[in-house]
Chains A and B, each alone.
Chain A
Amino acid sequence: DTGVSQNPRHKITKRGQNVTFRCDPISEHNRLYWYRQTLGQGPEFLTYFQNEAQLEKSRLLSDRFSAERPKGSFSTLEIQRTEQGDSAMYLCASSTTGELFFGEGSRLTVL
């Protein structure tokens, strides 16, 4: 499968713990995006990379959130000191200059 891959698909954690999600984009795609989707809502933009450079971060991305794309390939999204409000589906997408191709998402549940 050469699509966008996200791991883990599901993560249950206790409030205050740190979690990390990984995204492997389609290999030739230089742009990588992170979105967050809560139940009943459309995806909300968090941040994006062009190659290894993080070009924009949304105001939704608090100081507890950090994203990296160290070699311009895979990306990680870390959430520190998780809160119940962080419970959501975290979606990764990649593209060149056309449409975004999304992964299956990583669902986070914070207890």
Chain B
Amino acid sequence: AQSVAQPEDQVKVAEGNPLTVKCTYSVSGNPYLFWYVQYPNRGLQFLLKYITGDNLVKGSYGFEAEFNKSQTSFHLKKPSALVSDSALYFCAVRDDDYKLSFGAGTTVTVRA
């Protein structure tokens, strides 16, 4: 079965500092990986995806993610965090039926 894990419940950074949100995956076959963000009482917004190709994927709002096959990781990064990036972030993996399985989520707090 496909699955992802987000080892950190919370990440706190100061505004302007780099932000990293960790995700590891377990799949049989090729991984199709996604990052979504959720603001309070809202649905999920797509940030970026890795299907194939370059290991560094660029997405919305200045986010990027690095796919590392040897470490089975897909960490989300932003070089300079903003207070408005404070939200709940989910990593997800897609199966052959195009369903997504989500991690438990990481709450990001960016302090001014």
List residues of A whose CB falls within 8 A of some B CB: 4, 6, 31, 33, 40-45, 48, 55-56, 91, 93, 95, 97-105, 107
Contact = CB atoms under 8 A, between A and B. Distances in A.
Interface in B45-91: 45-46, 49, 90
Interface centre among B43, B90, B102 (most CB of A within 10 A): B43
Nearest to B47: A99
Contact of B45 (A45, A102, A107): A102
Query: What range describes how many residues of B lie at the interface?
Result: 20 to 34
A91 B43 contact: yes
6 contacts: A40-B104, A42-B92, A43-B90, A48-B99, A100-B46, A105-B43
Contacts of A99: 34, 46, 49
B43 A55 contact: no
Interface of B: 34, 36, 41-46, 49, 90, 92, 97-105
- When A and B form their complex, which 8 residue pairs have the shortest distance between CB atoms, in order from nearest? A42-B102, A102-B43, A102-B44, A104-B43, A99-B46, A105-B43, A43-B102, A42-B104
A101 B99 contact: no
Given A31-B98, A42-B102, A42-B105, A103 B90 contact: no
A101 B46 contact: yes
Contacts of B103: 42
Contact of B99 (A56, A98, A104, A105): A56
